[in-house]
Amino acid sequence: MFVALGASLNGFILGCMNIMFVDGTHLSGPYEGTLLGAVGLDADNHLFDVAYAIVSTENKDDWEWFMTNVRECLGGLQPVVMSDRNNALLYAVPKVFGVECHSYCVRHIRENFIKAVGKLGYRKDSTKELLKEMLNRVAYAASEAEYGVALEELRKFKHELAVWVERNELERWVQAKFRKERWGRLNNNAIESWNN
């Protein structure tokens, strides 16, 4: 089942930031399956429903079907699509909207970064918090110069962590590297709120 109301689509096209947040959530209770959702943000930064669907599971085919339906409903609009890097979304978003429109949630990148930090032996919470802040400075750098300074700071702390950053498609999540407008949005919190 796919639902995209005309008023919501027109509102997104005419009055929202050109960024769409997508995610899936598992349904429980008597109704099983997965709810796929796409939301935007209006001019006051409030959640704005774009479309949703109920599918069997969160897989490549279902996400491609959902994203294709959303694209058709939006006409020629090419929004930035923010996701959590779910494998099915890594496949479907670039296929339907193009890789240049796919942006990754920094919060999910940070979770993976902290796992890499743990593998290097950093266990103290104070060190993890410092490294999270260093990664945030890399991610939120508004210019190439700021990005270079932040990455060099991380490199001086631990070379392997800077290498990890450079190997993780930074053009999809670092503000200074992403070529489309995201209005400073680097996380997927909008759709996570919608899921709740």
The tens digit of pLDDT for each residue in 31-76 reads: 889 999 999 998 888 889 999 999 999 999 999 999 999 999 999 8
Q: 2-105+180-195 is classed in which CATH architecture?
A: 2-Layer Sandwich (3.30)
34 or 186: whose pLDDT is higher?
34
Secondary structure letter of residue 57 according to DSSP: S
* Structural contact between residues 85 and 106, judged by C-beta atoms closer than 8 angstroms: no
Over residues 182-188, the mean pLDDT reads 73
Q: Please state, for a pLDDT cut of 70, what percent of the chain lies above it.
A: 94
35 C-beta neighbours (distance < 10 Å), count: 18
For the chain, the domains span 2-105+180-195, 106-172
Distance (Å, rounded) from C-alpha 71 to C-alpha 91? 15
Residue 66 backbone dihedrals phi, psi, to 5 degrees = -60, -50
Q: Give the pLDDT band of residue 195 (cuts 50, 70, 90).
A: low
